[in-house]
Amino acid sequence: MTEPRSLPAPDPHPGDSVGEWVVVDLIGRGGMAVVYRVEHRGTHEIRALKLLTTRMSGDEAKKRFQREYRALASLDHPNVVHVFGMGTWEGRPWYVMEWLEGHDLKAEMDRWKGVSLSERFQRAEDVLVQVADALAHVHARGLVHRDVSPSNIMVLPDGRVKLMDFGVVKAPGGDLTAADELVGTVAWIAPEQFSGTGVDERADLYALGAVLYVMLTGRRPFHSRTLAGYLEKHLHGRPRPPREISPEVPAHLDEACLRLLAKDPADRFASASHLMHFVRAGTPLTTDVYSDRWPDRTVGRARETALLWEAVSALEAGRGGVVVLEGPSGAGKSRLLEDLAAHARKQGIAVLRGVCGKSSRRAFSGWMEVYGALTAGRAAQPSEVLRRVFEADDDRTSDAPVERYAIYAAFLDLLKGGPARLILLDGLQRADSGTLGLAEYLVRNLLALAHEPVLFVFARWPVAHSADPQAGLVNGEATGVPAQVVDLGPLPVAAIEDLLLDLVPGDRQAGTLAARIQRETAGNAHFAVEMIRALVEERIVRP
């Protein structure tokens, strides 16, 4: 006789308690979760509570639900829904978020049918800028929403906008997309999400472009009855310009919409901040534009930043690796290393950084600063071998020769068995043989043989493979661990325009100037910045 199967617990009803919250009534039910209005037992605050459904209570669904909460909990922005706590009820996770009086953007657009076109377009611009502001905050934390659509944009009675539903958010190191969810959001997703290429923050900008298209024209940019039809149109179709459908559409919104819907991410706006500056003149700068204070964010490197942050997330999970950041002089390698180091430190990861070529006479020069950080305060006692090599008073290691593998082994002892570490080595193209040999030895022994939580990131100029002395480090033949190569190509026009619009928000001529700067500098980040500095000093670029 078989034992009867236990039935899943029913959903809570009005009056039932979920943690410290009392259910008031049911708000809505979806495929993944059910949402209730709840009241706190002690403070009587009204909130919304999202509870995973019974049929989605498997381990993977729970893991995804918890990641959604963690993503929301990391955000603090007036245009993003706030969360206040998480728990479990009958084995099913839940979290509480702010209670919002309002309706989604689809319902809001229905209300626009009774207003003038100029009023409709002004409201569309207000929504666009608020969602872009929210996305700038989301993207700065390494997250990609991946489901920007009218149903996930809430409009409050006072006109404020809230970005909601982070159920398929992409966090560094984690992909929360379920195989059966593509159809539900297929009308809004970017071409790269279909093609399986890397997705970064610019995918959200494409989706926002599709939302803007609906706000301006009352119709989607693409229509199809099948997934294959949407696939074809998102990958290859060209939407009609909004002004062809409604000539009253403001020119700047028409241009913004078409740029957002560009097939190639490089042809879209470089960031959500870029979009905001383009659409609407921003707040005047509080400091003199002719000072040395420049925008402190990196522009034009969304794809590269996403790849680097993915590697750090893998390190947090205990998986080390090797990344080679390649680009010509002035491409921005050092800036990306600085950004990566700051991000890793925020995650509690120790960062060790060295620079190759500071001394042409000292062997192992690329590892000098790493050695200094490892032995600072003598928390790790170096061997006599390492002191003779790295603590000499001049650029000579020692008059007495030291066997190279003894140095390698002693340096390995400083690193093995420690916490997760990020090791950055800049200027690898200038590495002496000792620096390169030690790098190969450490990668082989810490990763290929021991699987230690260490991430190596080497930055260097591109080298022809046939003449590459570091080929074994890059392809893994010398280490057993092939490197992930991240190429820094030229900055696109959009990235330079993004930088210019930080200095002169809302200036419609910035795009023309950016195209000229990109052409004359071949997209070299250093030369582009220096050209802009010269234009500022000559007062050609000014607020």
Residue 109 Cα to chain centre, angstroms: 30
What ranges in 74-188 are assigned the alpha helix state H?
105-111, 117-140
3-state helix, strand, coil in the chain (%, to 5): 45, 15, 40
Nearest Cα residue to 91 out of 18, 4, 31, 174: 18
413 is catalytic: no
Nearest Cα residue to 412 out of 373, 446, 368: 446
Task: Quote the DSSP letter at residue 430.
Answer: G
Residue 29 Cα to chain centre, angstroms: 30
Angle at 498 between CA 497 and CA 499, to 5 degrees: 90
Taking each helix axis from N to C terminus, what angle separates 302-316 and 333-346, rounded to the nearest 10 degrees?
40
Q: How far apart are CA 284 and CA 295, in angstroms?
A: 13
Q: How far apart are CA 455 and CA 421, in angstroms?
A: 6
Catalytically annotated residue among 133, 147, 204, 426 = 147
Nearest Cα residue to 540 out of 519, 509, 518: 509
Phi-psi region of 462 (alpha: psi -120 to 50; beta: other; left: phi over 0): beta
SS3 28: strand
Q: Using an 8 Å Cβ cutoff, are 23 and 14 in contact?
A: yes
Strand arrangement of the beta sheet that strand 103-104 belongs to: 103-104, 153-155, 161-163
Strand partners, 94: 51, 87
Write the CB contacts of 469 (distance below 8 Å, at least 6 apart in sequence).
436, 463
Q: How far apart are CA 140 and CA 387, in angstroms?
A: 42
Write the CB contacts of 317 (distance below 8 Å, at least 6 apart in sequence).
173
Q: Using an 8 Å Cβ cutoff, are 84 and 73 in contact?
A: no
Q: Using an 8 Å Cβ cutoff, are 192 and 265 in contact?
A: yes
Half-sphere exposure of 445 (CA within 13 A, CB side): 17
* Tokens (6 digits) for 113: 């049918």
Q: How far apart are CA 428 and CA 197, in angstroms?
A: 29
Question: Could you give the maximum distance between any two Cα atoms of the chain, in Å?
Answer: 91
Q: Using an 8 Å Cβ cutoff, are 50 and 33 in contact?
A: yes
Q: Using an 8 Å Cβ cutoff, are 524 and 295 in contact?
A: no
Q: Using an 8 Å Cβ cutoff, are 531 and 520 in contact?
A: yes
Instruction: Count other C-beta atoms under 10 Å from residue 476's C-beta.
Output: 17
The residues annotated with a catalytic role in the active site are: 147
